[in-house]
Amino acid sequence: MIITIQCPDCVGLVAQISQVLAARNVNIITMREFVDTANNNFFARLEVTNSSEISYISDTLKSVLPNDAIVNVNPQSQKNIIVLVSKEYHCLSDILVRNHFKTLGANVQCVIGNHQILQDICQRFNIPYHFIDHQNTDKQNFEQQIINTINNYSFDFVVLAKFMRILSPGFVANFTHKIVNIHHSFLPAFIGASPYKQAHNRGVKLIGATAHFVTNDLDEGPIIAQQTTPVNHTYQTNDMVRSGKEIETAVLIKALQSLFADKVFVYDNKTIVFD
């Protein structure tokens, strides 16, 4: 059973939390706790022995913690997600395969794409695919169609698996800390379009990928995971693209699996990841 808590810090929080648990004979297997002393915030994630008294424990924890504490006792362990894609298959396929074999930690409800190219792979895995064209329409209408489609499903997160289009502030505002993007560079280097071309022009010796929550500021949202991989003078831009896809896939899945396991907290445009 997992418990996550986020609240203003004060002396005695761990004592209060652990007393509630001990009183119900619940044992703490692993506890990760962090206090952001600069902002006076308390974050904790506990793996504890199972209990049938989930709502009692949750209520009691809330009653002993500060008023605005965010407490989750046994948050839904199997999350539901919607995946947005464009033309590139690598991140999507990795998600579909893991989903198919029940190792993703989440259920893919559907895939939405602005091209038809990835419809086939979704069909092979019996995942609904919704083609929403961004051409011959304006951005507002395009996004409204996405929202209409999304709202037919129950979901916890929207995953931009190389969606390659910038979502408007209005769209993003509906889903605070619910949209995860994979950016194909080591942010904040190479913000924006064609990061591998930028990287090649600069002559870097490493390229990177960054999984982050989407906010209104392009490529500026809270970072969940990052990774780099070596390149050298023999890499043309397209070699960097190919090599980069390997780490894009790896970083996105790493971020998602932390997220699905309730290991990620957000504050002050940063993340706490207890992994």
The catalytic residue positions are 219
Residue 161: closest CA among 65, 97, 206, 216: 97
- Does residue number 222 form part of the binding site for a second copy (CB under 8 A)? yes
Please report how close the Cβ of residue 114 comes to a second copy at its closest, in angstroms.
19
- Does residue number 60 form part of the binding site for a second copy (CB under 8 A)? no
Q: In the window 235-264, what residues touch a second copy (CB under 8 A)?
A: 242, 246, 250
Among 106, 182, 225, 240, binds a second copy (CB under 8 A): 225
Each residue 156-195 as x (binds a second copy by CB under 8 A) or -, in order, gives: ------------------------------xxxxx-----
- Does residue number 105 form part of the binding site for a second copy (CB under 8 A)? no
**Alpha helices by DSSP H, 193-232:** 195-202
Tell me how many helices (H) and strands (E) the chain has.
8, 13
- Does residue number 204 form part of the binding site for a second copy (CB under 8 A)? yes
- Does residue number 57 form part of the binding site for a second copy (CB under 8 A)? no
Please report how close the Cβ of residue 137 comes to a second copy at its closest, in angstroms.
28
Total residues binding a second copy (CB under 8 A): 65
Give yes or no for a contact between 81 and 159, defined as CB atoms under 8 angstroms apart.
Answer: yes
Cα–Cα distance for residue pair 103/82, rounded to 1 Å: 16
- Does residue number 87 form part of the binding site for a second copy (CB under 8 A)? no
Please report how close the Cβ of residue 222 comes to a second copy at its closest, in angstroms.
6
- Does residue number 109 form part of the binding site for a second copy (CB under 8 A)? no
Q: How many CB atoms lie within 10 A of CB 251?
A: 25
- Does residue number 64 form part of the binding site for a second copy (CB under 8 A)? no
C-alpha distances in Å from residue 170, one per residue of 132, 149, 175, 211, 213:
18, 16, 10, 21, 15
- Does residue number 26 form part of the binding site for a second copy (CB under 8 A)? yes
- Does residue number 226 form part of the binding site for a second copy (CB under 8 A)? yes
Classify each residue of 219-234 as buried b or exposed e, where b means 16 or more C-beta atoms within 10 Å of its C-beta.
bebbbbbbbbeebeee
DSSP state, 128? -
Residues 6+ apart with CB under 8 A from 211: 180, 181, 182, 183, 223, 224, 225, 226, 251, 252, 254, 255, 256
Look at the block and give the residue holding tokens 């029940």: 102
Residue 247: closest CA among 191, 184, 190, 200: 184
Among 52, 67, 138, 203, binds a second copy (CB under 8 A): 203
Binding site for a second copy (CB under 8 A): 9-19, 21-22, 25-37, 89, 93-94, 97, 100-101, 103, 121, 124-125, 186-190, 202-206, 208, 222-228, 232-234, 242, 246, 250, 269-273
